[in-house]
Structure 1
Amino acid sequence: MTQPTTLADFLQDAGIPAALREGLLSVADACRDIADRVERAPLTGHLGALQQSNVQGETQKALDVIANDIFLDVCGASSAFAALASEEMEQLWAREGRSDGPYLLVFDPLDGSSNIEISAPVGTIFSILPRLDDRIGGTVLEAEFLQPGSRQAAAGYALYGAQTLFVFSVGSGVAGFTLDRADGSWRLTHPDMRVPPLSAEYAINAAHRRHWDPGILSYVEACEAGASGPLGRDRNMRWSGAMVADVHRILVRGGVFLYPADRRPGQAAGKLRLLYECAPAGWLIEQAGGRASDSRTAITAIRPGTLHQRVPIALGSADEIATFETYAGAED
């Protein structure tokens, strides 16, 4: 049996510009290294939390810091990137002498790290943004990162689960690769991922139900009502604890993922970060024929105001998101 195409060959054959190709390969290399560290964490003593918090005020896991450092070491050495920004760092990071890189990299190094101790799926989310031509070679400014998701040159994720997967788009569909442990290569296993238009699955953290706005609650109650309710179909709720895993499930099986704003302190603007999570995931879902919204505006149309801006998000099958927006908008 012929081995599936490697990531390097795929990018070469697709005619991806050399700098973007180099950047994507460096991200894939970092994700391969992180996959190894995740797999070996119980053996190396890197399970559990540290006595410190990140810029978001969230307690860091040992692997959050390790994964972030791997990105800085591997992708920071790539000539494709002038600077990097991470969910785990307050400010952007730039290596001396690399301001001529034509791209910027933003990433969540280890999404869902609370799943580590129970060996449930975790992942990495990344986005590659273009620099303006007149800025290349100059000092990188934070404002350069504040681009809407529609301007992404590439975005994707790695999923560290039953298989280690690398899924991305460069603006012309979505392709998925599986890590071949035998030789360390990424091989094409999901050549044209499309969000199925119909599904019986939705994902939301029901523990926050009492804090939801009325429109969100009404939509979830309609889902729960099943075939006899207004949506006319029995449904199952799925919640993985890692956005990457839920996005991957939607790419394979359809459905919706919801993380709305709510009335808890600090959650009025949403929980997830626009640059590091929502914009790349939303763009990927759009490239696969789905939709992503904050309930009113396409996620990829929102221009960030800060590196760590939070937003509510609903993403998934296009018709399902349209239905969700109808319910969410009814509270206005």
Structure 2
Amino acid sequence: MYLGRTTLSKFLIEELRGGSGDSDLGALLVDVAAAVKAIAAMVGKGALGSQGLAAPGAAVAPIDPSDQARQTLLQACEWGGLVAGMAAPALEAPYTLPPQYQRGPFLLLFEALEDSRDRLGNAAVGTLFSVLRHAGGAPPEPTSFQQAGVQQLAAGYALYGPATMLVLTVGRGTHGFTLDREVGNFILTHPDLRIPAEGGECAIDTSHERFWEPPLRRYVRECKAGRAGERGRDFSLRWIDSTVAAVHRVLTVGGVFMVPRMRADPDAPVDEALPQDTLPLHQLCGVNPVALLIEQAGGLASTGRGRVLEVEPKALHARVPVILGSRDEIERIERYHAEHDSGTDEAYVSPLFNQRSLYRAEVRRGSSRGFGRQP
């Protein structure tokens, strides 16, 4: 029944055959996949998997699923002599390997389980990971992890939904694997994923529209106008709090996913006092993995003003805005940013849905010269 199906292990052996150190990279990814299976089982139990143990009659302290997932990944990857160190957003400093374990040639960055509000609603969540090369034999410092996204050796995510999927790249395309729970193997089900050049999905949290820069407002306004507007076709605007779930949808059906640069005043410098939920994503553990996957699938990943994978991290837990997805859509958004920065864009005024003339700013300015007249 299972003969002839490509497992993750077989895929990695064939994909990485012949390269120096590539077999070690494959082995590390197999360890990550083993941790993903364990996390999938834990997530599948829901609240039942977060109940601690206690003596009869004593209070039971719930176990944080994110802590469980993080410990699962650390323990799965620390012992094999493949990593020199690991880092995650919840860890202030890189994780130091226990002294009994040998250091390896790789650095592993991960977000073991997204801190997503969707998890509370029993919706899909995910794991993100990225693999970098470690130079030298010394224990890694925080700066060792601060490598631009173009230096990633491998990256991927796991999506815990009705089926558990593992989507990864080793720099030769983006490939999807589905966990066969009966046999415990990840099976290649989506080889060489390709994101459509243009798409009708726009994934962005519109509750933060007041903090967006003008080029982004221009693009989303066009999407909302649909076929009656400049684009001449309808778009679907939706927001999923899970980065993995949102990116996976865009990867498979096309469109854009955006966690953009935000400002309290769009014409002022970046405001550090913005609400916590408006901050960009973690660069090393969040943005870089999905950006590489999208690029390897034929899409683009940008800050709005350049390739996000070329941004040099300024800190271990640096954050960076990201706009990624279908090539044609990202190129349009980058063009809107360039036009805005050069002052060549023009604000669009709707003749049908604008404010009534009495309340428009230019009318108020002209009221001193005469009611309703233009200055």
TM over 0.5: yes
Higher mean displacement: 265-274 or 181-190: 265-274
Q: CA offsets, 1:16-72, max 9 Å, x none?
A: 51110111001111111111111113223459xxxxxxxxxxxxx811111111111
8 Å CA contact 1:112, 1:123 repeated in 2: no
Confirm or deny that 1:43 pairs with 2:48.
yes
Cα 1:325/1:179, change in 2 over 3 Å = same
Spell out the pairing of 1:122-161 with structure 2 (5 A cutoff).
122-132=125-135, 135=136, 137-161=137-161
- Counterpart of 1:105 in structure 2 is 108
Q: In the TM superposition, what is the alpha-carbon distance from 1:266 to its structure 2 partner?
A: 4.1
What are the equivalent positions in structure 2 for 1:275-286 lying under 5 Å apart? 275-286=284-295
SS of match in other structure, 1:295: coil
User: How many residue pairs end up in the alignment?
Assistant: 317
SS where residue 107 of structure 1 aligns? strand
Contact between 1:178 and 1:187, CA under 8 Å: does it hold in 2? yes
Specify the structure having the higher radius of gyration (Cα).
2
RMSD after superposition: 2.0
- Paired with 1:143 and 1:259, the residues of 2 have a C-alpha distance of 25
SS of the residue corresponding to residue 32 of structure 2 reads helix
> Which residues in structure 2 correspond to 1:1-332 (within 5 Å)?
2=3, 4-16=5-17, 17-46=22-51, 62-97=64-99, 98=101, 100-132=103-135, 135=136, 137-264=137-264, 265-266=273-274, 270-332=279-341
Contact in 1 for aligned 2:281/2:320 (Cα 8 Å): yes
Corresponding residue SS for 2:156: strand
- The alignment partner of 1:111 has SS state of coil
Q: Look up the equivalent residue of 1:26 and give its one-letter code.
A: D
Partners of 1:100 and 1:77 in 2: CA distance: 9
Q: Is the 8 A contact 1:112 1:241 kept in 2?
A: no
Question: Could you give the per-residue CA deviations for residues 195-232 of structure 1, whole angstroms, max 9, x where no partner exists?
Answer: 11121111000111122122211111011111121222
Structure 1 unaligned residues grouped into runs of 5+: 48-60
Q: Answer yes or no: is the 8 Å Cα contact 1:106–1:276 preserved in 2.
A: yes
Contact 1:126–1:156 under 8 Å retained in 2 = yes
Aligned-partner Cα distance in 1 for 2:50–2:92: 27
* Maintained 8 Å contact 2:198/2:327: no
- Classify the secondary structure of the residue corresponding to 2:104: coil
Query: Per-residue displacement from partner, 1:78-132 (whole Å, max 9, x unpaired)?
Result: 3211100001111101213456311000011112532222111100000000112
**Farther-moved stretch of structure 1 (97-106 vs 63-72):** 97-106
Q: Secondary structure at the match of 1:167?
A: strand
**CA distance in 1: counterparts of 2:232 and 2:89, whole angstroms:** 40
Q: 2:306·2:334 contact (CA, 8 Å) conserved in 1?
A: no
Tell me: higher relative CO, structure 1 or 2? Use CA pairs within 8 A at least 6 residues apart.
1
CA distance in 2, matches of 1:27, 1:201: 31
Unaligned runs of 5+ in 2: 53-62, 265-272, 342-375
What percentage of residue pairs aligned between the two structures are identical?
40
Distance 1:324 1:112, change over 3 A: farther
Deviation of 1:328 after TM superposition, in Å, equals 2.9
- 1:93, 1:44 → 2: CA distance? 25
Look up the SS of the partner of 2:118 in the other structure.
helix
CA deviation after TM superposition for structure 1 residue 14, in Å: 1.8
